């Protein structure tokens, strides 16, 4: 059975009951933000977790080993070329000793749950794709959020997805969807999708109390945190860029796992790169909120 290698900082935190926040690594690799924005994202996200009183634990597969927390000398490796690693790929990544496997939401949740980490931060989750009734294209992220006893903190789902379908799927999976200081589900670069959330909570302590009870019953929860207003893009901007990106993906026959990076690249071009500062801001903000919730949850425990 494969084991997890913890960084010294994460191991110390776990042993002492100090709050830890798991982080995915896809966004920091060549599969996420372009260089040097990916390095800035890594620096800002780690700092946000630390400054809020928790220990950051970036998840990844390095030389065939599942890692929870990366030492600084590993940062350059995760910032470079990597293989996208979802939950289904973890066994292959370990068995075939992949050099660098950048973990997606589903893989990061599986690793966090096995490591005993209860709070996880990402940018935006995957979800139900347009046309999924014909293609069956639904992200493994949703099943992982439902399956593992971990809170996922995100700025909603990626904007090019079928957001109403994603929320319906989460309801079908019995996932509690919480709006953090918001009555509507956030839409990644935009503060709102216009769709109401079933539950609004306004403090880290309230979120911690709810997830403590949720974990007793089994399964995870999703906390939707709107992007900070100063860096948010308008829904109209995003809709225009998204429509063009989806049309181009269909024209080129892009399907499956290739859709997300392709569409995000097309949206970035259409928005003249304005999405990159937005992505940095929302990732940093999600990490801060996740750390505050982790601190509150540790106090309850």
pLDDT for position 1: 42
Residue 101's domain comprises 4-300
Instruction: Please tell me the distance from the alpha carbon of residue 294 to that of residue 119, in angstroms, as a whole number.
Output: 6
Look-up of token digits 């992220």: 141
Please tell me which residue in 24, 87, 284, 292 is annotated as part of the active site.
24
The total domain count for the chain is 1
Determine what percent of the chain is predicted with pLDDT higher than 90.
Answer: 79
Look-up of token digits 């709102």: 192
Please tell me which residue in 40, 72, 84, 158 is annotated as part of the active site.
158
Q: Is 24 a residue of the active site?
A: yes
Task: Please tell me the pTM assigned to this model.
Answer: 0.94
Pairing, β 65-68 against β 20-23: unpaired
> Which CATH number does the domain housing residue 9 bear?
3.40.1790.10
Instruction: Please tell me the distance from the alpha carbon of residue 161 to that of residue 15, in angstroms, as a whole number.
Output: 39
Instruction: Please tell me the distance from the alpha carbon of residue 232 to that of residue 203, in angstroms, as a whole number.
Output: 22
Please tell me whether the peptide bond between 261 and the residue prior to it is cis, using omega within 30 degrees of 0.
no
Pairing, β 221-224 against β 151-154: parallel
- Measured CA to CA in angstroms, residue 10 lies from 20, 28, 71, 168, 296 at distances of 7, 19, 10, 36, 18
| Of the candidate ranges 24-28, 134-138, 229-233, 238-242, the one whose mean pLDDT is the lowest | 238-242
Tell me the pLDDT band of 109, cut-offs 50, 70 and 90.
very high
Tell me the pLDDT band of 277, cut-offs 50, 70 and 90.
very high
| Whether the predicted pLDDT of 264 surpasses 80 | no
Instruction: Please tell me the distance from the alpha carbon of residue 124 to that of residue 178, in angstroms, as a whole number.
Output: 14
Q: Is 84 a residue of the active site?
A: no
Write out pLDDT tens, residues 212-225: 999 999 999 999 99
């Amino acid at each position: 059975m494969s084991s997890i290698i913890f960084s010294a900082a994460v191991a110390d935190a776990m042993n002492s009951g100090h709050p830890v926040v798991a982080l995915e690594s896809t966004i920091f690799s060549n599969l996420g933000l372009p260089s040097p924005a990916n390095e800035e994202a890594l620096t800002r996200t780690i700092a946000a977790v630390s400054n809020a009183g928790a220990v950051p634990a970036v998840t990844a597969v390095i030389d065939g080993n599942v890692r929870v927390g990366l030492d600084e000398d590993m940062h350059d490796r995760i910032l470079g070329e990597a293989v996208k690693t979802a939950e289904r790929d973890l066994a292959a990544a370990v068995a075939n000793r992949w050099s660098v496997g950048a973990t997606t939401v589903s893989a990061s949740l599986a690793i966090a749950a096995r490591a005993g980490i209860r709070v996880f931060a990402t940018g935006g989750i995957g979800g139900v794709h347009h046309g999924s009734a014909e293609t069956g294209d639904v992200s493994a992220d949703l099943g992982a959020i439902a399956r593992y006893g971990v809170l996922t903190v995100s700025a909603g789902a990626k904007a090019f997805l079928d957001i109403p379908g994603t929320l319906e799927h989460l309801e079908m999976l019995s996932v509690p969807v919480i709006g953090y200081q918001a009555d509507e589900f956030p839409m990644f670069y935009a503060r709102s999708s216009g769709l109401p959330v079933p539950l609004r909570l306004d403090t880290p302590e309230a979120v911690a109390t709810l997830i403590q009870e949720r974990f007793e019953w089994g399964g995870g929860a999703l906390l939707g945190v709107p992007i900070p207003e100063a860096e948010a893009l308008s829904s109209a901007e995003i809709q225009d860029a998204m429509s063009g990106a989806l049309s181009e993906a269909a024209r080129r026959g892009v399907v499956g796992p290739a859709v997300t990076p392709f569409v995000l690249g097309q949206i970035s071009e259409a928005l003249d790169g304005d999405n990159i500062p937005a992505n940095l801001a929302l990732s940093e903000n999600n990490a801060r909120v996740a750390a505050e919730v982790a601190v509150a949850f540790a106090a309850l425990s």
